[in-house]
Structure formats: C-alpha cells, structure tokens
Amino acid sequence: MSDATTPCPGVATFDYNVWSQRYPALACNVGEDLAESYFDEAGLYLNNTPMSIVRDVRKRAVLLGMLVAHLATLNLPTSQGGLGGAVGRVASASRGSVSISTDLGPQTADAGWFNQTQYGAAFWVATRYLRQMSFVSGRSPRPRIWP
C-alpha cells in the first residue's frame, strides 16, 4: 500500500503483496490488476493527494486498503465469497423455498453503504474522527452589518 519512498510525496501507493497478506481470503479471488483498479476507485471515497484530510500517508494507505477490500467484496460473485446482494444482519430466515431477510438497522445512508461488509464497517469506524466537527482556533470573525 505505501512505503517510505513513495514516488509522489504525500500520495499513498498500492502494494498488492502487502494487501494480499492482509486480506488473504480476498486475494485468492482478486488479482493484482483488479485490486489496483479498486485502489484507484477507493481514491474517490478518500482523497489520496497531499491535500487529503488524512495527512499521515501510512494511515491513509491502510484506510485505502480497507476500501479496496470493501469494494472487492461488494463485487465478488457469491461463488467466490461475495455477498450476492444480501446486506446487513440476518433479521429472519425460512427453510421451505429458502427465504432470508436482512436489516441494517437505523443508520445514515453513507454508513449503510460502508456497513455492507466487515471491511467497510472497519473503515467507517476508523474514520469516525473525520466526520466530527473540529474547532479551529483564531479570532472571531468580525460581524458584517449591512448596509
């Protein structure tokens, strides 16, 4: 994912070997080229430039790796361990004519998308601090009275 000598300062790079060791169950079904394209897609969800809100490139690489695992799981066929459309916890199940219903519980739409997989849920929890309001110290803005 990232090493100390990234080609572009402030940008995490994808290392398939590191990713495949971290997610071996996915790596057996997701080749290097496909994983690399998921990494590029992950950059749509988490800015991977020097202007990213996650300044630590190593931490950003780990988060992007989680997103790669999430995207890979969402796109895997059920025969290879994919979700097959089932998302959330099992709310009820039947046996005759096989039926199952799932429920994500109360959550925001953004959280729902991430919580479809264990990797997305881990990303959502790990980035919670980014979704909280932060205080920026400085002078109060001067009130503007018009006219």
User: How does pLDDT run across 42-81, given as a tens digit for each residue?
Assistant: 999 999 999 999 999 999 999 999 999 999 999 887 666 5
Strands 99-103 and 89-94, by their bridges, are antiparallel
Q: How far apart are the first and last CA of the chain?
A: 55
How many CB atoms lie under 10 A from the CB of residue 61?
24
Q: 4 pLDDT exceeds 60?
A: no
pTM: predicted TM-score of the whole model, two decimal places? 0.74
pLDDT tens-digit series, residues 18-28 = 999 999 999 99
Tell whether the torsion through CA atoms of 89, 40, 4 and 16 is positive or negative.
positive
Residue 82 pLDDT: 58
DSSP state of 92: E
Give the Cα separation of 5 and 101 in Å (integer).
48
Residue 126 pLDDT: 95
Q: What is the mean pLDDT of residues 133-144?
A: 70
